[in-house]
Chains A and B, each alone.
Chain A
């Protein structure tokens, strides 16, 4: 079993829909959670970073963490065709300054938003 599981998709939605992207994890030591967006032929771009259970909102994006269930989500409101990309969740156990904190990535979910 992988440490981080993510539905590979593809997930196809109409423009304006609310999108829910999810990851589950098995390692209870994970405390820090990230979502990256990766456009085709580009490097991953950090979207959201959170370290506590609950919700964190940034514009149309909301990151949700449920440590008791080992489950994280990214919600995208009013989805746009420009949101079409692969979304990767990532997590780490500790954050120590200048220590090279290892990230464990999910497999990525490919999202397509149709006009």
Chain B
């Protein structure tokens, strides 16, 4: 497995502002993922971030709203832009590791938008 950290762990933000979430892993990984987990719901994939290329977004998610950076093999950021209360969720990053490319998750960032 890997040690994955996220910053901030939680935040309360005002409508119309933006928040950047950081994900740090203690080993080099090629693929990182960003998920959203709305209250009481399961995980929905936002995008896949491969170091050295543009992130690949899932249906319903766009780069203008959720820009992602992947500057190196141990770090990624997700920005939630122009936030509205509907963006209130837990945001999780994950990495692929191991012989079967298992996914391991960070602790999550709990975002509340007022």
Residues of A in contact with B (beta carbons under 8 Å apart): 32, 34, 36, 41-46, 49, 51, 88, 90, 95-103, 105-108
Q: Which single member of B101, B105, B108 contacts A101 (CB below 8 Å)? A: B101
> B45 and A95: CB pair below 8 A?
no
Given contacts A43-B107, A43-B108, A44-B43, contact A100 B96 (CB under 8 A): yes
Q: Which residues of B contact A100 (CB under 8 A)?
A: 31, 33, 48, 50, 56, 96
In the bound complex, residues from chain B placing their C-beta under 8 Å from that of A105 are 42-43
Residues of chain A within 8 A (CB-CB) of B104 are 46
Q: Among the listed B31, B41, B105, which residue makes an inter-chain contact with A44, where contact means beta carbons less than 8 Å apart?
A: B105
Inter-subunit contact B1/A46 (CB<8 Å): yes
Cβ of A99 and Cβ of B31 under 8 Å apart? yes
Q: Which residues of B contact A97 (CB under 8 A)?
A: 101
A100–B110 alpha-carbon span in the complex (Å): 24
Interface flag for B20 (CB, 8 Å)? no
Choose among A51, A100, A102, A106 the residue with the greatest number of B CB atoms under 10 Å from its CB: A100
- Least CB distance, B114 to chain A, in whole angstroms: 20
Residues of B within 8 Å of A34, CB to CB, are 102-103
> Could you give, for residues 43-81 of chain B, a 1 whenever the CB lies within 8 Å of some chain A CB and a 0 otherwise?
101001010000010000000000000000000000000
**Chain B residue with Cβ nearest A97:** B101
Chain B residues with CB below 8 A from A45, complex form: 105
User: How many angstroms between the C-alpha atoms of A34 and B102 in the bound complex?
Assistant: 9
* B residues near A108, Cβ cutoff 8 Å: 42
Decide yes or no: A43 and B30 within 8 Å by CB, A98-B96, A102-B45 being known contacts.
no
B103 touching A46, Cβ below 8 Å: yes
